Amino acid sequence: MKKLESIFVTLNGWALIVMLAAMSLVVGANILLRYTTAHSLPWADEAARYLMIWMTFSGAGLVLRTGGHVAITNLQDALPVKGQQILRGAITLGLLLFFCFMVYVGMQYAQRMQYQVTPAMRIPFIYVYAAMPVGFTLLIVHLLLIARPFITAGEYKHGDTNALPGSANG
């Protein structure tokens, strides 16, 4: 199971790297063309925007693994150990329910947009809006993988960041 988790985290990290590289290349090429030929790519801004949307939703799960999202821990810190575990369990359950709801809402929204196309690239909006259900599905998987150590000890998977592409050990 640890091996599958490591592969999952690594693939998620590489997908983000590929999207960031693609966005950087598109924006860089557009800037280069604009200043050297006085013409720019009409679809570059749109492609960069949609890649940023996909990176945001796809990367949220990796940030969740390391505790990188905003958290206020005053109540948790004031509770005894057993109370902290119950609170973290409730938070995990609440997050899981919210993420599942957002997958459902995201799928509905993406399906509603399937017949509209983007202005410049002329691709169906379903591919853009699919980032939401895909991203929240990734959040569900990441949450389930870190739930036990988080609930029992309040620990995040800080060690998993070494398995990410581009890290010292990755």
Q: What length is written for the chain?
A: 170
The closest alpha carbon to 115, from 125, 127, 104, belongs to: 125
Q: Which domain holds residue 138?
A: 2-156
Q: Is residue 33 part of a domain?
A: yes
Per-residue pLDDT of the chain (170 residues; tens, 9 = 90+): 899 999 999 999 999 999 999 999 999 999 999 999 999 999 999 999 999 999 999 999 999 998 888 888 899 889 999 999 999 999 999 999 999 999 999 999 999 999 999 999 999 999 999 999 999 999 999 999 999 999 998 777 654 444 455 554 44
Number of domains in the chain: 1
Q: Is residue 165 part of a domain?
A: no
Q: Is residue 161 part of a domain?
A: no
The tokens describing 111, both together, are 């399906």
Q: Is residue 168 part of a domain?
A: no
Q: How far is CA 2 from CA 8, 90, 106, 145, in A?
A: 10, 25, 30, 10
Q: What share of the chain is helix, strand, coil (3-state, %, to 5)?
A: 75, 0, 25
pTM as predicted: 0.86
Task: State how far the Cα of 141 lies from the Cα of 125, in Å rounded to an integer.
Answer: 25
Q: Is residue 162 part of a domain?
A: no
